Structure 1
C-alpha cells in the first residue's frame, strides 16, 4: 500500500481543492484562501500561489521572520458520481514566508515550511513525518486518475460491473471505480437501501506508467470475466 507520506504528497501535488488557513485570522472569502498553484521544493517545503489581496498574504507580509503559522487543508473528492464522494483529507501545517517576484501580477507566492502533516483517507488516518513527506514521491498515476476513472465508469461499465463476481456478493446493485493508484484499483459497490462497501483489487505488481496499467487492468478484467 502507499505510505501515508506518499498519499499526502500525492494530494498536495494533485488538482484537489486546497485552502490555506491562518489560525486567528478573520474568515475570508473562499477564493481568497484557495491555492491556485502548489509545488513542492527539493527540501519538502511548499510553494503556494494565492491572490495578492488575500488576508493570508497580508498576514505573511507584515510578519517578522517565520512567526505566521498556517495550515494547508486539502479535500479529495472522487471524480465520478458515487455515494460519499469525499475520499480523503490532508492537513499540512508549518510557517509562512513571502517569496517575492515569483508570481504573475495580482498573485503572490508563499513558502510553507512543513512542521506537521496528517492524512485521513480511504486507507486510514495517520500522522506524517516532515522528513518522510520530503522524501516521498506522488503516485505516478495521479495526473491521469481523473480521466482514467471517468473513462472506466463511462466506457467500460460492463467490465467494471463484472468485478462484483470477485467479491461473491449477490446483493450488488451498482459498481463504480472509486480510486486508482500504482498498486491497484478500489471499487465502491452499491447495495439495496443505499448501503455501500468498498473492495480493493491489487495489481500483480506496482505499475509505473500507462502501458503497465493497461496490462494490469486487462488481467483484472480477464479474471473477473472468467
Structure 2
C-alpha cells in the first residue's frame, strides 16, 4: 500500500534540480519576444548568469547605458527523461532584474561559472555571445499538483538532487531493461491506477515517481523510499526493497 505520508524533496530542492536539468530556458522582458538562452546558471549570490546571442533584442536592451536593469522573467521547462504522452514535468519561473555584464568582467564571470557548471556556450563568450545577470526577486514552480511560490533564500540554500545528472540514464535503464521491476512497483498502486501503461517518471534520493497513461488521462504517483539515499548503491538497494525484490542483482544505469 502507498504510504500516506510522501517523503520527497522540498519545493526549493525541486526548483534547484529543475534549474540544473533544464535546457534552452526562455528569457523575456516586456515588449520583446522571448529569447532562448544558450546557458543559464543559478549562483549562490542570488543571480542567474545567462548567455544570449550578442545580436538579440534582449542583449541590446540590457546594454543600454541609461538602464540599471529591466524587469525580466526566466522560464525553465523540466522535461520527462522518457518519451511520454505529456513531456513536461514542471515549469519554473524566476523573476527579477536583468542587468548587463561589463565587457571586462565577462571572461572572469564565465570562468567562475565554468568551475561550477562547465558548458560549451562559455567558450563563445565574446564571440557572438554575451553574458547577462538576472537578479532574482521571486520564484514559482508549477506541476501537475498546482503552482507554488518558493522563497528566494530557501532557493539559494537548497541543493539539486544528487542524482539529477544520472536520472535520465537510470530511468531509461529501468524502462528498457527492467520492466519486471516496474511491474513489481506497480503492485503497490491501488487497483484503479493499474489500468494503463505504467512508466517511470522521475527518481531522486527520496523515492521514485510513476506515470500511468490510460485512455482516461494521466496520473502521477510517488513511491517513497523508507529513508533518503545518498549514493548509487543505496539507490539501487532502495529501489529493489521498494519493489519487494531485495535479493535481485544490483541495478546499474548504462553509461
TM-score range, shorter chain: 0.7 to 0.9
**More strand per residue: 1 or 2?**
1
4+ runs of 1 displaced by more than 6 Å?
none
What SS does the aligned partner of 1:13 have? helix
Deviation at 1:64, TM superposition (A): 3.4
* Structure 1 residues 48-197: aligned runs within 5 Å: 48-99=50-101, 100=103, 101-102=106-107, 103-122=125-144, 124-169=146-191, 171-191=194-214, 193-197=215-219
Higher relative contact order (CA 8 A, sep 6+): 2
The TM-score, its normalising length taken from structure 1, stands at: 0.88
Deviations 1:151-202 (A, max 9, x none): 11111122112222111416523110001111110001233x2433222110
Deviation at 1:211, TM superposition (A): 2.1
Gaps of 5+ in 1: none
Deviation at 1:81, TM superposition (A): 2.2
What is the alpha-carbon root mean square deviation over aligned residues? 2.1
Deviations 1:93-136 (A, max 9, x none): 11111223332511111111001110012454211111111111
Partner residue of 1:23? 30
Deviations 1:48-84 (A, max 9, x none): 1111111111111115353311100011121212222
Larger mean CA deviation between 134-143 and 9-18 belongs to: 9-18
Does the CA-based 8 Å contact 1:72-1:91 persist in structure 2?
yes
Partner residue of 1:221? 243
- C-alpha separation in 1, matches of 2:66 and 2:231: 45
